[in-house]
Amino acid sequence: MTPTTRPIPGLPGYVATPTGEVISLRRRTPRSLAYTVGPCGYRTIGVVNSDGNRVCVRVGDLVAATWLGPRPEGQDLRHLDGNPSNDTLDNLAWGTPAEVAQDYADRAAREGPATCALGHPLADTWLGSWGERVCPTCKREANRRSKTRTQRPATCQDCGAPVDSRRVVRCRPCANAAAAAKSRAKRSGAPAPAMPARRPHATGPRPQPTPAEARRTTAAAVAGLRPTRISVCQECGIEFVNARTGPLAKRCRACHEQARRQRSSTWEQEHPTRRRLGRRIRTDHPRRESSRGPQP
């Protein structure tokens, strides 16, 4: 008499049935584990391996390893009817990747349409990543169009720097500056600057700039786009240079460091016993004598 369940190798506390069920014996009452069906059609469950880690495995792999033996080297699990959700023992077998693809192709030939949306005949041997059939004529046309289509560089509408795209209207520095200007206008309540319209598809080949010309053009555009920002210190009144981006500073570097040291000193005077910068400052407790008493 053939047993109805067998323990799964490498997974203590789990058994598999020939009908494609995985039963957990880890609790007082055995129960059949619920599965989920992925986009490819395979049923997967979550189990706890011998190391105590929870892993996600396919039901078909567990049933085949339990009833058909370990997986041979270089072979995959076959579903003889081409349905990856049918994990019964009669539908499983070990085979080569070519045999697995042929099983899916046979099912597609039986159940799928004979032509694509454009009327081209579908080849049974052309399979996609999820087992669907692919039209060879449409695939060849798509590959041919992608090879003949070249990426023609354009120029930035603000600075004239070359941009290696046909639909981008600004280079990266100009785009960042425009985004910063839009953010400042939004905070101040002023109307946002108008964005240029998207460039239509270019017709005809564009001249390819040399790398040296592209670098010179980009450097000149960045230098002209981001002028030096001068501010006046509120403490000492001297002029200093701000960073190219971000809000304007109110103090120069020397006044900023002096104010920071003054705040730190004031805080230490007000909190003598508080921890600061990784060490404890204790000024209100005298040094304790040693437990052995005064030294001679």
| Tokens coding 246 | 């971000």
Decide if 84 contacts 39 (C-beta within 8 A). no
pLDDT band at 289 (very low <50, low <70, confident <90, very high): very low
Average pLDDT over residues 4-25: 91
Segment holding 279, helix H or strand E: strand 279-280
Residue type, 151: Q
Average pLDDT over residues 141-160: 74
Whether residue 149 has pLDDT greater than 80: no
Q: How far apart are CA 18 and CA 20, in angstroms?
A: 5
Q: How far apart are CA 84 and CA 88, in angstroms?
A: 10
Average pLDDT over residues 12-40: 90
Q: What is the pLDDT of residue 165?
A: 63
Whether residue 290 has pLDDT greater than 50: no
List, as one string, the DSSP characters of 37-54: E-TTS-EEEEEE-TTS-E
Cβ neighbours for 182, distance < 8 A, ≥ 6 positions apart: 192, 193
Q: How far apart are CA 70 and CA 89, in angstroms?
A: 14
* Structure confidence by residue, pLDDT tens digits, 246-287: 778 888 888 888 888 888 888 778 877 665 554 555 555 555
Q: How far apart are CA 196 and CA 152, in angstroms?
A: 20
Average pLDDT over residues 30-34: 90
Q: What is the pLDDT of residue 206?
A: 54
* Structure confidence by residue, pLDDT tens digits, 97-142: 889 888 887 887 777 777 887 888 876 657 676 666 778 888 888 8
* Fold of the CATH domain 6-72+81-95: Homing Intron 3 (I-Ppo) Encoded Endonuclease; Chain A (3.90.75)
Q: What is the pLDDT of residue 17?
A: 92
Decide if 59 contacts 35 (C-beta within 8 A). yes
SS3 breakdown of the chain: % helix, strand, coil, rounded to 5? Answer: 30, 15, 55
Cβ neighbours for 230, distance < 8 A, ≥ 6 positions apart: 239, 240, 241, 242
Among 47-56, 79-88, 195-204, 258-267, which is the least confidently predicted range? Answer: 195-204
Q: How far apart are CA 259 and CA 254, in angstroms?
A: 9
Report phi then psi at 213, rounded to 5: -65, -40
Report phi then psi at 48, rounded to 5: -110, 120
